């Protein structure tokens, strides 16, 4: 049985680093073998990153053209046409995948997996054995919302209602972190703390941090994923 050569250097970068935003993803491959026009490159995206069922790709470097498809969920198939064929081992090439949706969080993504190369007849010619590529959204999506007070009397206890429209999908069990200004007093224990979503009220657990002047809202049965714009 023959052992396939290893692909050892594949990088993935997003052109937009805000979580939940649409972006182009630049995939860079430094092949350890010579590759020919017609060869195919495969990569599977993490579950939390959105990949269109009909992806569109374009050549960036050392490629004349690329043709993309998604044979199964999250799997990208890229047929390569090199500017000069064969493309020698060590000649790094790049292509762009458009219409990708960044992960909803700013945490480092799960790994891109099932990375391999095949010839034009789809016979495997190399398997990936390097460090699994990941991406990280560096900038949290800006929040948009409004705040109302039940009572506007100075120094009187009241209820604050914050209306917030999500800018990206929220994972099941996600929490809210609210900062409050120095001229607003918040007791260490909140009597009434909850979220209303789809006209259903959820009682939440709210933790007040006086040092950082923040309120963290968690739990309370709000465990359904929330899509952007809700």
Average pLDDT over residues 47-62: 95
150 and 50: one domain? no
161 has a pLDDT exceeding 90: no
Cβ distance 15 to 162 under 8 Å? no
Comparison of pLDDT for 55 and 158, the residue scoring more: 55
Average pLDDT over residues 211-229: 70
In this structure, of 22-26, 118-122, 224-228, the range with the lowest mean pLDDT score is: 224-228
Band of pLDDT at residue 226, cut at 50, 70 and 90: low
- Note whether residue 134 is domain-resident: no
DSSP 109-148: PPPPEEEEEE-TT--EEEEE-SPPP-----BPPPPEEEEE
Task: Examine the fold and report which residue of 128, 158, 186 is the final residue of a domain before the chain moves on.
Answer: 128
204 and 124: one domain? no
Average pLDDT over residues 110-132: 95
The number of angstroms, rounded, from the C-alpha of 65 to the middle of its chain's C-alpha atoms is 26
Per the structure, the complete domain to which residue 185 belongs is given by 144-218
117 and 22: one domain? yes
224 has a pLDDT exceeding 70: no
In this structure, of 6-10, 109-113, 132-136, the range with the lowest mean pLDDT score is: 6-10
How many distinct structural domains can be found in the chain? 2
Task: Examine the fold and report which residue of 77, 103, 128 is the final residue of a domain before the chain moves on.
Answer: 128
89-98 exposure pattern, b = at least 16 Cβ within 10 A, e = fewer? eebebbbbbe
Write the pLDDT tens digit of every residue in 143-160: 778 889 898 888 888 888
What is the structure's pLDDT at 166?
A: 72
209 has a pLDDT exceeding 70: yes
18 and 81: one domain? yes
Write the pLDDT tens digit of every residue in 59-103: 999 999 999 999 999 999 999 999 999 999 999 999 999 989 999
- Note whether residue 223 is domain-resident: no
Band of pLDDT at residue 229, cut at 50, 70 and 90: low
What is the structure's pLDDT at 98?
A: 95
Task: Examine the fold and report which residue of 94, 128, 162 is the final residue of a domain before the chain moves on.
Answer: 128
Cis bond upstream, residue 152 (ω within 30): no
225 has a pLDDT exceeding 90: no
- Note whether residue 58 is domain-resident: yes
Cβ distance 142 to 150 under 8 Å? no
């Amino acid at each position: 049985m023959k052992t396939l050569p290893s692909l050892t250097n594949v990088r993935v970068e997003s052109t937009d680093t805000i979580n939940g935003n649409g972006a182009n993803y630049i995939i860079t491959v430094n092949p350890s073998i010579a590759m020919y026009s017609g060869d195919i490159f495969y990569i599977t995206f993490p579950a939390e990153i959105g990949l269109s069922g009909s992806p569109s790709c374009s050549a960036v470097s050392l490629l004349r053209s690329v043709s993309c498809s998604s044979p199964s969920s999250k799997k990208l198939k890229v047929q390569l046409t090199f500017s000069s064929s064969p493309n020698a081992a060590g000649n790094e090439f790049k292509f762009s995948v458009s219409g990708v949706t960044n992960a909803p969080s700013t945490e480092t993504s799960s790994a891109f997996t099932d990375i391999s190369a095949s010839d034009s007849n789809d016979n495997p010619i190399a398997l990936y054995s390097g460090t699994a590529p990941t991406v990280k959204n560096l900038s949290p999506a800006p929040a948009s919302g409004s705040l109302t007070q039940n009572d506007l009397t100075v120094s009187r206890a009241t209820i604050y209602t914050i209306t917030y429209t999500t800018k990206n999908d929220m994972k099941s069990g996600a929490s809210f972190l609210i900062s409050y200004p120095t001229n607003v007093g918040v007791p260490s224990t909140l009597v009434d703390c909850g979220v209303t979503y789809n006209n259903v009220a959820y009682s939440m657990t709210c933790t007040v941090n006086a040092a950082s002047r923040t309120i963290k809202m968690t739990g309370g049965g709000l465990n359904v994923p929330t899509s952007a714009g809700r």
